[in-house]
Amino acid sequence: MAAALLDGKALAARIQAEIAEEVRAFTAQMHVTPCLAAVLVGENPASEVYVRNKRLASERVGMTSRLIRMDSQTSQHKLLALVAQLNADTAVHGILIQLPLPKQIDSHAVLCAVSPLKDVDAFHPENVGLLVQGTPRFAPCTPYGVQQLLIRSGIETAGRHAVVLGRSDIVGKPMANLLVQRGPGGDATVTICHSKTRDLAAITRQADILIAAIGQAQFVKADMVKPGAAVVDVGMNRLDSGKLVGDVDFDAVKEVAGHITPVPGGVGPLTVTMLLKNTLSAAILSAVKRDLLNTD
């Protein structure tokens, strides 16, 4: 194997230990325990697992978590009423609406209803706008995790060509926005590729950093990768055999790349970790706001 493995699981454990220490200091000083409220609508098995992992991780770093379940027939009106209640609850700092939502619900309307100050997924248009302007309040968890992985693995982004495969609102677009920003983990020259991109392989072969987030099992082949490139796989696909694989053909690409993330154990654990980071940031924002309001 030519490529060095980017061990997201080990890095996530390190960052979570740092967050646990920050939570301890914050709670001791402010007498507030950061709290994440997760909303789960319906019975999607994958969502069940994701939410359980997020709650377990938040408790591991000393936060509290709440789970609010709603049945799959829940109306938009009822879900919006719940969001309003969580927005107004001063004991809740972060609100996570697990996606996807059932089809009778307008997801965009629900995500827009979450208070931007509690929007730890960074999906609210105000937070998207702040990110695009280069002054993020919260960064979306998966791209933020990928950026931390690059920074902490010593992979230079400044002046290098980063190619993002995929233009989703959750990963592709915010990933490109983070990479193009000024500062550590940024200053890259960024190309976004998608299903209408012509001669995709010719573009991916130019990438010093290739980020795959298209949701197609083992789509990125060895001949699409420049020798020595850093390849980050955001994909999570289950083959008919039951095996979990990413968007990158790992066994072939690892012989060409300089660095590569495994699936599982790459980006996934970092997504959860950055959600914790955002929840702590939301609790800090809330405490600062409270103190400002109390002291004048």
Q: Which of 121, 233, 247, 249 is catalytic?
A: 121
The binding track of 127-166 with respect to ligand GUN, each residue x by CB under 6 A or -, is --------------xx------------------------
Q: Does 98 help bind ligand GUN (rule: CB under 6 A)?
A: yes
5, 30, 68, 99: which one binds ligand GUN (CB under 6 A) = 99
Residue 89: partners with Cβ closer than 8 Å, 6 or more residues away: 37
Three-class secondary structure of residue 229 per DSSP: coil
98: annotated active-site residue: yes
* Comparison of 99 and 201: residue with beta carbon closer to ligand GUN: 99
For residues 237 and 263, give the distance between their C-alpha atoms in angstroms, rounded to a whole number.
9
Nearer to ligand GUN, 38 or 257 (CB): 38
The residue (of 7 and 48) whose beta carbon lies closer to ligand GUN is 48
DSSP state of 95: E
249 interacts with ligand GUN by CB under 6 A: no
Regarding beta strands 64-70 and 161-165, do their DSSP bridges make them parallel or antiparallel, or are they unpaired?
unpaired
Q: How far is the CB of 29 from ligand GUN (least distance, A)?
A: 29
Which position among 54, 118, 254, 277 bears the catalytic label?
Answer: 54
Which one of residues 121, 208, 233, 249 is an interface residue with ligand GUN (CB under 6 A)?
Answer: 121
CA dist 66 and 197 (Å) reads 42
- One-letter amino acid at 276 equals L
Q: Which CB, 100 or 183, lies closer to ligand GUN?
A: 100
Site for ligand GUN in 171-230 (CB under 6 A): none
Alpha-carbon distance 110 to 44, whole Å? 18
How far apart CA 16 and CA 277 sit, in angstroms, is: 8
List all residues 6 or more positions away from 56 whose beta carbon is below 8 Å from its beta carbon: none
Q: Residues 83, 113: contact at Cβ < 8 Å?
A: yes
Cα–Cα–Cα angle for 197, 176, 232, rounded to 5 degrees: 85
Determine, following the binding rule CB under 6 A, whether residue 170 of this chain makes contact with ligand GUN: yes
Stretch touching ligand GUN by CB under 6 A, among 90-98, 197-205, 208-216, 237-245: 90-98
Interface with ligand GUN (CB under 6 A): 96-99, 121, 141-142, 170
Residues with a catalytic annotation lie at 54, 98, 121
